[in-house]
Structure 1
Amino acid sequence: MRVDTTGGLGAGDRATPARLRDSAALLLPVRRAISLRDRIFWALASVSVLASLLVTIASAYVLQATLTIDAHATLSRECRIIGSVLDDSADAARTLSTMMLGNERSTLIAPDGTVLFDSMTDAADLPNHAGRSEVADALVTGSGSSDRKSQTVGYVSIYEAIRLADGSVLRLSEDRAGAMALLWSSLAWIVGILAGLVTLSWFTSLLLSRRLIRPVLRIDPTRPDCQAPYRELEPLVQRLSSQQELLEEQMERLRDIDSMRSEFTANVTHELKTPISSIMGASELIRDGIVRPEDVRGFARRINSDAQRLSSLVSDILTLSKLDESERSLDLTALGSSSPCDLYEVARDACSRLQPKADAARVSLWLEGGPTVVTGYPRLVDEMVSNLVENAIRYNVPGGSVTMRVGMRGHAPTVSVRDTGVGIAPENQEKVFERFFRVDRSRSRASGGTGLGLAIVKHVANVHGAKLSLKSRPGKGTTITVVFPASTDTQGPQDAQGAPEA
C-alpha cells in the first residue's frame, strides 16, 4: 500500500520546493528598496536647508562682532576726547556731569577704585571698581577695554577706560545687542528669508534629483540580452573599478602633500620667529638704553648674526618654493635656462667659498676628480653642491675631513661628498632630506644652519633627474652621492671605483 505524502493534493498539484519558496515569499512583508532619486533629493534638500540656517546664524555672530569692534573704537575715541577736556578742568566730576552722552554711561573712578561719579546711578551706591579689568588695565598701562554680558539676556556691555592726568580713570560704556538678540529682533525677516530659501532649495533639489536619475531610469531591463537589470552599466562600473586604485593613490598623495604643507608652514613660522624675536629683544634693549656701552658691540653682532640667519632662511624657503612650483606644474622655465656646466668647476668654487668655514671648524677640505660636464641649471647645481659641502663641514668633528669627488660612472656624471663626522643613525637616514629635519639641532643652529639644505639638494636632484643616495655609520661619517642621468654628450674622467664608501 502506498502512502500519500502530498497532504491530499492531486498529482498535478504537488508542491515542488520552488513553489513552496514562492508561496512563503508571498506571506513575507515586502521590503521596498530606497529610491536613488529620493536619496539624492533628501541629501540636497537637507544640505541646502542646513547651509541656510548656518549662514544665518554665522552672519548674526559676525555682525555682532563687527558692531562690538566698532563700539570699542567709538568709545575709545570719545574717551580720549572727553579725557582731554577733563584734564583741563578743575573739577572733573562736575564737568563730566554736564556732558550729554546719550545712551553712553560715563564713570569717573579714583586711583584707589572709589567711584567719584556715574551718569546712570548714585556713585555712593556703587562698589569699589579697582578690580574691574578695564579699570585695572587703565591704572597700569593708561588704557583698558573689556566687554561683559550684562544681566539683561542677549546684551553685551562694552567698556573703554583711560587714565587721566591726575591718576583717576574715565570709563565709558554702552550696551549692544548680542548675536541672539539680533536674531530675535529680526525674527520675522529671518523666518521669511529662511522660508524662501527652504522653498527654493526644496524645488531645486527635486528638479536636480529628477534630472540626475533620469538617464538611469531610461535603462530597459526587459531586453532579451540583459539578464541583469543594469547590465548596460557594467562597462562603466568596470572602468570605474579599474580607476579606483589610481584615484585612491592620487588622493593619498594629495593628503600627504597637504600634510607636508601644513607641517612646512608650522616649521617655517617657528624657524622665522626665533631670529626675529632675538633681533627684536636685542634692539629693544639697545633702544631703551639698558645695554652698557661696552656691551653694545656684542648685541650688534648678535643682531647681525640673527639677521644673516633670517636672510639665509628666507632665501632657502624661496628656493624651495620655486622648485616645488616647477615640479608641480612641470614648467621649469622659472628656474632659468638650461646650459652645460662643469661639475668640477662648480665644486672648486664651492670649496673656495667654504674654505674659511672649514678652517674655523678645523676641518680639512679636499677635492678630487676632473672636468665633468652636465647639462642643467648652473645656479641650482651650485647651490646643491654648496649645501652638500656645507652640511658635511657642519656635522664634522675637529680634525676631520671632507672629501669631494667629481667624475663619471660609465656615462653618468657623479659627484659625491664624504665626511668623517658624527654620522647618521639608521632610523634617521630617510629623514635627513625632509625639510627642517636636523640630526643635531643645537649644532645646526649654532653654526647657522636653516634645516633646509638637504631638502634643497633633494629637489635639485629631482629637477635634473638625478639619483640621490646616502651611506652613513654613526661615529664614522657620511657619504652622499648624486648620479646624474647618463648621456653620450657628457664629458669627464672615468671613475671606475665610484664614490668612496662611508
Structure 2
Amino acid sequence: MFTIDSIANKFRISYFLFALLLCTTFVSIFMYAEMRIEQDLVKGRLLQQLQLSQEKEGEQAVYIANPGIKIYRYDSAPEDLKALANNVVQEIRVTVNHQTGATKTNLHFFAHQQNEQKYILTYLEGTEMVMENYPVLAIFEELEDIFADALKIAVVLSLLIAALFSYVSSKQIIKPLLDLKQAVETDHQNLTELTHLPSEVGVLARAIDEKNHKLEQYLKREQLFTGDVSHELRTPLTIIMGASEVLASQLGDHSRLSEFAERISTTAKETSEIISALLLLSRAPEQLDTPQTSINNIASNEVQRLKYLLRYKTVTCTVVAEQEYCTYVRPELLKMALGNLIKNAFQYTDEGEVIITIDAEKIMVSDTGLGIPETMMPLLYERFERLNGINTGDQVEGSGLGLSIVQRIMTHMGWKLTHQANTTGGSTFSIYYNK
C-alpha cells in the first residue's frame, strides 16, 4: 500500500515533482521564445507590408493586403484596437464569419509611429499564407504546431522516464537501509559487516552497534547483580527459616509466641519466592521452563496471604471461577503479578468488596476503592508513582513499584495488562493470559 511516510515514496515523489518542475520550466521557456519569435516575425511582416502599400497606393486611411493583413491609420482604426494597441505585438481571440460558418482565431496587432503619422497594423492568423509574400512567417506557423506536438510528447516521456528512474534509484538508495534493518533483526555478525561502510549507513550501523554493545553490558550487569543479590540473600533467609522452625518447636504451648515464629518463617519463605521470581525476570523468556500452573490455587493463596490488610476494614473478597483454570507459566511470576494487583486492591479499598474473576482468557481484579484519577493515567505503570490515602490524604504504605513490576512481568511473559475505571468507583485490572 502506498504511504507518504515511506522514505522511498518521499524520494519518488520528490524526483517526480522535480522532473515536473523542470518540464514546466522548459515549456515556459519554449512558449516565451515562440511568442517572441512570432511577435518579431509578425512585426517585420506588417512593417514590410506598410512600406509596400504606401509605395503602391500612397497615403490611405486603410490598407488591405491579403492574406489577412489590414493596416489602419490611427484615426481610422476601430476604437477597441485604439484602446489596446501599443508598440508591442499583442494577440487576442476573435470570431471570423465565413460562408461556411463562424470560426475563432487569433488577431495580432500593434501600434507604429512613422514620422508624424501613427498606424495600427493587424494580422489575422489562420489565413492561408502566400509563400512569396513572407515565407518565413508561413514556415514558422507550420513548424509551430510541429514543435508544440513534439514538446508534449517530450514532456510525457520525460515524466515517464522520471517515474521509472525514481522507482529504480529509490530501491537502490533504500537497499542499504533494508540491509541494516535485516542485520539488526538477525544477529550481531551481520551488523558488524556493515560498520565498515564509509556511507551514512555505515555511520548508522556503527552507532547501532555501539548502542547494542552498551545495552548488552547493561543487561549483563543487571543479570549479575540480580544473581549476586539472590545468592547472598538466600543464605541468611535459610538461616532465618531454620531458626524460626527451631524456635517454634521449643515454644510448646506459648500460642502467641508460636504465632510470631510462624509469621517469621512465612515471611522468610515469601521473601525467598520473591527473590526467585526476580531472578527469573532477569533471564530471557525462551530460557524459562513453563509448567502447567493452576490459576485458581495461586489466586486463593494470595488472597489468604494478604487478607491481613483487610483486618480492620469492612471489605469482603471473593474469588469467582466456574472451573479450575490452568496456564503454562512460572508460578513465581504469576504469584508476584497477581499478588501485587490483589495487594493494591486491598490497600486502596476501605469499604465494599474486591472480586477476583477467572475465566478462559483473563484474570480480573476489581475493587470498589479509591480508583485512579485521570491525571495519573499516563503515569499508571511508572515506577515510584503512587496514590494518596483515601481519608487522611497520607500516602498508603508501599514503594510505588507494584504496577510497574506487574507490567514488566506481563511484557516478559508476552501477556497483556489493562485497566478500566468502574462506573461505581474503584478500578478493574485485567491480565489476559490466553493470547
Q: TM-score, normalised by structure 1?
A: 0.33
Q: TM-score, normalised by structure 2?
A: 0.37
Between Structure 1 and Structure 2, whose CA radius of gyration is higher? 2
